[in-house]
Structure 1
Amino acid sequence: MSGQDRREAEVRRLLDGPRPAVPAEVVARAAARGARMVRRRRAVRRAGWVLLLLAVVAFGVWAAAEEPWRARPSGTAPPLWGGD
């Protein structure tokens, strides 16, 4: 019997046997921790969406004010003579 087969047999034996009782306070703590994790994950996701929305709005305001799709007017012409 190989090591892998021995481990499988041991796991099967453990799973087929009686399961130990879990104390009630462990279940309550696990449920509370899970609820905290869900609330935290939901808050982080909501904050991410808000930041994304703010970035899109800021980009829209910048684009409307600057109009980057238009060619910039040439405000000054190059010097006609030597330059100084």
Structure 2
Amino acid sequence: MSLRDREAAVRRILERGPTQVPPDLCAAAVRRGGRMLRRRTAARRLMWLVLTAAAVAFFVWALTARPWVEPPSTTTPPMTGW
């Protein structure tokens, strides 16, 4: 398709005039947008809830397991009676 063919196609489209829009298009768009916003808000709140629960679970595990403390050595018995 050459440039002249493209220009002619565009001119034909523009010369047709405006197309008819459904009368309830705006109301449908508003409903759909509100639904999308509610879903996005619910997903964001759920994400924060899961993140907070994971942080609390990690904090509780760290306090009970104390992974930073070196475990006692069990390879040799303690030296007594020297």
User: How has the CA–CA distance of structure 1 residues 27 and 70 changed in structure 2, closer, same or farther, with 3 Å as cutoff?
Assistant: same
Moved segments of 4+, more than 6 Å: none
Give 1:74's aligned amino acid: S
Task: Output the TM-score relative to the length of structure 2.
Answer: 0.68
User: How has the CA–CA distance of structure 1 residues 3 and 61 changed in structure 2, closer, same or farther, with 3 Å as cutoff?
Assistant: farther
Pair 1:49-2:48 in alignment: yes
- Cα distance per residue 1:27-48 (max 9 Å; x no partner): 2112201110111111111111
User: How has the CA–CA distance of structure 1 residues 77 and 33 changed in structure 2, closer, same or farther, with 3 Å as cutoff?
Assistant: same
How many angstroms does 1:50 deviate by?
1.1
Aligned residues: 77
Structure 2 runs not aligned, ≥5 long: 78-82
Percent identical across equivalent pairs? Answer: 47
